[in-house]
């Protein structure tokens, strides 16, 4: 392990066989989580931002075990499965165990030795129960009696009480009690209520104690007359992936609801324990949960780092990044806080928006809101993959349906982690009269598309939004995404055909401009790669995406590199391509930007034989698809070419800015190891993109002011007797 600029580095995807063409997907995921953890370790970041990244790291690791590790354990039980890098399932699980232990050691070291003392120096403390004053303990005891004790249910384990079911991601106390009369020892489990905050804030609002410590201090109230021998917090992670048999389901909505209930009882895949837990209790828990010793992870408390979000929510702006307010996009934001006519703006030319630098509310949400209120709008059609709980877009669709417009929403029920929320707002849409479709059998609908049909004169005009991010106002404030608002007839025709495919029985596979998966996206992407390869050293590609996993695409990139093409890949998360290998991928460079905003957009540039680093000629595409087998073959995705010279300039600016970064950037070596790029020019791409967005907004306001002044002068000059 090495360290650059105070940030620790590891690589778990690196292996001992440099001749391997692919890096392991699961270990590459661990590498990404290590880069997130590096932000929590970075002493140059504001203190509460580091706390936030500890919470994000914990959430990422939870999902990794619920889905990826759970899948490997299923494969191990079935005796099947070998990764493209030829690692066996058992070898992958061993490597994941070793890599996770390294990450947990890093987390403990940074959190306990650095961040906790740093918080304390600013008056924010994560206290142990024993360190509280008597007055504080008395206050916490009153809170316990009033708000916590009534909802606790201690569950004993004895011949009359079988071992209780431990729900996914629940925090619990394992308690050993002794009967004073007979001396017999018993095990009991107390579940920490998940609906209560994980940290109890003391009256001063600056000190916190974990809820499990408060409960542990009052176990005598839960087991009166018994002696408390020991108590230890623990947390269980279970398989949380949906396994639907869609072809056999008469009603997909009912099938997903049933599967969500069944998923609560998925097999356990990880047990997290406090380092003070006795071997007796650890062995008992592992046995009852049917876990191997290598599935048990220990460390210092708190066990559930997702509770740290409470500390991050403190109103301490001096310990956070400087707030950034998204600006109104060019030609969309109106003067004096008023919204412009978005349809007129779209008719005057395509509009590119980049969130969170440009406002989601003033662009995408405004587009759907105006459509819902406009009497000339006849129909609205939209895909919804993940949306926020209090969604302005859902409210707009409901309003439109109530006003008699034709409204169709394709709600993807199988969006992992959001199934229950999607079911809830889907039912609300149905009650309002929206035509709700729940996706296609065997495919997830992952495309981010919206279509508005408007009566204009004697005909209709179709207005479109095609983007890279979900229609979710919450994530639009933290995820970097791009989208296009357009009235181009050929794209309106393509979206009409695509929605007919999604809602009806259309089997159209040829589109005018869109690249659609699973029908043609893979084929077309491979053709574009091969075309760059055909130009030899004049071939040029720059891609920005979340994940690069698909072996077929990776092999095509290798062939292009071997033909002389130069390829830059900005891959935020998983990358299974091995760059810079002699004779295989010498012309490929891979970097990853990890920072304040989650890099989420997918931008694909093909130089069309220009070979230029300026990217001033060639083809640009944006869309919902990463280069993964699931995106290319098992999801409905939409990728759109950007043909406006102005919009191509914006995308060029984004790519060149990110390739110039040396603050947030990690680079991938031929051996499969990620290294933090040394800071030379101190160029932060995300800060630069913020500055560019603000500068565009300022120019827009200046142009609007100049136009208003000109109009005022013209109006004044037209009045009789006016001096000019």
Length of the chain: 724
Catalytic residue among 231, 305, 355, 446: 446
**Percentage of the chain lying above the pLDDT 90 cut:** 77
DSSP string spanning 307-325?
A: GGHHHHTSS-GGGSPPP-P
pLDDT in tens, 540-559: 999 999 999 999 999 999 99
Fold designation for 515-693: Endonuclease; Chain A (3.30.870)
Is residue 248 over pLDDT 50? no
DSSP state of 358: B
Q: What whole-number distance in Å separates Cα of residue 268 and Cα of residue 289?
A: 6
> Which segment of 31-35, 246-250, 356-360, 679-683 scores lowest on mean pLDDT?
246-250
CA atoms within 13 A on the CB side of 41: 21
Could you give the dihedral angle defined by the CA atoms of residues 577, 578, 581 and 587, in that order, rounded to the nearest 10 degrees? 50
Domain with CATH 3.30.1840.10 in the chain: 131-323
Closest CA to 627 of 553, 555, 557: 553
pLDDT at 510: 86
pLDDT in tens, 505-536: 666 678 999 999 999 999 999 999 999 999 99
Alpha-carbon gap, residue 276 to 241, rounded angstroms: 32
Indicate if the pLDDT at residue 397 is higher than 90. Answer: yes
Q: What pLDDT, in 10s, does the model give residues 110-147?
A: 999 999 999 999 999 999 999 999 999 999 999 999 99
Q: Which pLDDT score is estimated for 657?
A: 98
Over its C-alpha atoms, the chain yields an Rg (Å, rounded) of 28
Where in the chain do CATH 3.30.870.10 domains reside? 341-513, 515-693
In the prediction, which pLDDT does 428 show? 87
Residue 145 to residue 210: CA distance in whole angstroms? 16
Residue scoring higher pLDDT (472 or 10): 472
Nearest Cα to Cα of residue 91 among 27, 31, 33: 27
Buried b / exposed e over 62-77, threshold 16 CB at 10 Å, is: bebbbbbbbbbbbbee
Strand order through the sheet with 185-191: 155-157, 185-191, 171-178, 227-238, 268-274, 296-299
What DSSP string describes 363-416? IIIHHHHHHHH-TTEEEEEEEESS--TT-HHHHHHHHHHHTT-EEEEEE-TT-T
pLDDT digits (tens, 9 = 90+) for 326-362: 999 977 765 555 668 999 999 999 999 999 999 999 9
Q: In the chain, where does the domain assigned CATH 1.20.58.310 lie?
A: 1-122
Q: Is CATH 3.40.50.1820 correct for 341-513?
A: no
Q: Does domain 1-122 have CATH number 1.20.58.310?
A: yes
Instruction: Give the three-state DSSP class for 649.
Output: helix
Give 155's strand partners: 189
- Whether pLDDT at 668 is above 90: yes
Helix intervals (H) in 403-520: 419-431, 489-503
User: In the predicted model, is pLDDT for residue 5 greater than 50?
Assistant: no
pTM: 0.92
712 falls in which pLDDT band (50, 70, 90)?
low
pLDDT of residue 249: 44
Compute the average pLDDT of residues 402-420. 81
446 is catalytic: yes
**Average pLDDT, integer, range 476-498:** 97
pLDDT in tens, 55-85: 999 999 999 999 999 999 989 888 887 788 8
Q: Which CATH number fits domain 131-323: 3.30.1840.10, 3.40.50.150, 2.10.109.10, 3.90.1150.10?
A: 3.30.1840.10
């Amino acid at each position: 392990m090495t360290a650059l600029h105070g940030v620790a580095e590891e690589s778990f995807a690196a292996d001992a066989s440099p001749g391997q063409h692919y890096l392991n997907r699961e270990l590459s995921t661990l590498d990404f989580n290590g880069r997130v953890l590096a932000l929590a370790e970075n002493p140059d970041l504001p203190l509460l931002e580091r706390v936030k990244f500890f919470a994000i790291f914990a959430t990422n690791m939870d999902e990794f075990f619920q889905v990826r590790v759970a899948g490997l354990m299923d494969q191990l039980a079935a005796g099947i499965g070998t990764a493209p890098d030829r690692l066996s399932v058992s070898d992958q699980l061993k490597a994941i165990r070793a890599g996770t232990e390294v990450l947990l050691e890093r987390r403990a070291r940074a959190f306990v030795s650095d961040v906790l003392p740093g918080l304390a120096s600013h008056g924010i403390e994560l206290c142990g129960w024993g360190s509280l004053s008597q007055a504080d303990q008395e206050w916490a005891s009153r809170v316990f009696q009033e708000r916590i004790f009534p909802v606790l249910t201690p569950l004993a384990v004895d011949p009359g009480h079988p071992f209780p079911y431990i729900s996914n991601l629940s925090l619990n106390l394992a308690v050993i009690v002794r009967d004073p009369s007979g001396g017999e020892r018993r095990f009991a489990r107390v579940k920490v209520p998940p609906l209560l905050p994980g940290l109890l804030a003391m009256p001063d609002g600056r000190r916190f104690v974990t809820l499990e410590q408060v409960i542990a201090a009052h176990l005598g109230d839960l087991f009166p007359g018994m002696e408390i021998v020991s108590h230890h917090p623990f947390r269980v992670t279970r398989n949380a992936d949906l396994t639907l048999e869609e072809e056999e389901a008469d009603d997909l909505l009912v099938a997903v609801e049933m599967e969500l209930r069944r998923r609560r009882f998925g097999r356990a895949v990880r047990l997290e324990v406090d380092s003070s837990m006795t071997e007796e209790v650890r062995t008992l828990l592992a046995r009852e949960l049917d876990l191997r010793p290598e599935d048990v992870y220990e460390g210092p408390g708190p066990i559930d780092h997702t509770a740290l979000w409470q500390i991050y929510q403190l109103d301490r702006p001096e310990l956070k990044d400087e707030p950034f307010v998204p600006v109104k996009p060019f030609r969309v934001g109106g003067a004096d806080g008023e919204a412009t006519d978005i349809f007129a703006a779209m008719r005057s030319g395509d509009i590119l928006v980049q969130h969170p630098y440009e406002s989601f509310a003033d662009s995408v949400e405004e587009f759907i809101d105006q459509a819902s209120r406009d009497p000339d709008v006849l129909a609205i059609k939209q895909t919804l993959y993940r949306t926020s709980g209090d969604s302005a877009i859902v409210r707009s669709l409901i309003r439109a349906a109530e006003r008699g417009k034709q409204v169709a929403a394709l709600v993807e029920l199988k969006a992992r982690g959001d199934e229950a929320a999607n079911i809830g707002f889907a039912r609300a849409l149905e009650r309002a009269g929206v035509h709700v479709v729940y996706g296609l059998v065997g495919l997830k609908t992952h495309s981010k598309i919206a279509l508005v049909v408007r009566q204009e004169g004697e005909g209709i005009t179709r207005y479109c939004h095609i983007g890279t991010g979900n229609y979710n106002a919450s994530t639009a404030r933290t995820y970097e995404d791009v989208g296009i608002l357009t009235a181009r007839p050929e794209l309106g025709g393509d979206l009409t055909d695509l929605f007919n495919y999604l809602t009806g029985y259309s089997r159209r596979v040829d589109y005018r401009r869109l690249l659609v998966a699973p029908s043609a996206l893979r084929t077309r992407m491979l053709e574009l790669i091969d075309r760059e390869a055909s130009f030899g050293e004049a071939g040029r590609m720059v891609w920005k995406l979340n994940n690069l996993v698909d072996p077929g695409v990776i092999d095509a990139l290798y062939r292009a590199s071997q033909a002389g093409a130069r390829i830059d890949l900005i891959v935020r998360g998983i990358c299974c391509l091995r760059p810079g290998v002699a004779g295989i991928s010498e012309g490929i460079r891979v970097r990853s930007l990890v920072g304040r905003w989650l890099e989420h957009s997918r931008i694909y540039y093909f130089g069309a034989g220009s070979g230029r680093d300026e990217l001033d000629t060639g083809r640009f595409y944006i869309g919902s698809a990463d280069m993964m087998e699931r995106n290319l073959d098992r999801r409905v995705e939409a990728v759109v070419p950007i043909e406006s010279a102005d919009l191509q300039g914006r995308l060029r600016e984004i790519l060149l800015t990110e390739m110039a970064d040396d603050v947030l950037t990690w680079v991938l070596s031929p051996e499969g190891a990620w290294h933090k790029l040394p800071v030379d020019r101190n160029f932060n791409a995300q800060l630069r993109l913020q500055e560019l967005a603000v500068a565009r907004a300022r120019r827009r306001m200046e142009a609007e002011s100049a136009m208003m002044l000109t109009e005022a002068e013209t109006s004044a000059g037209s009045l009789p007797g006016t001096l000019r």
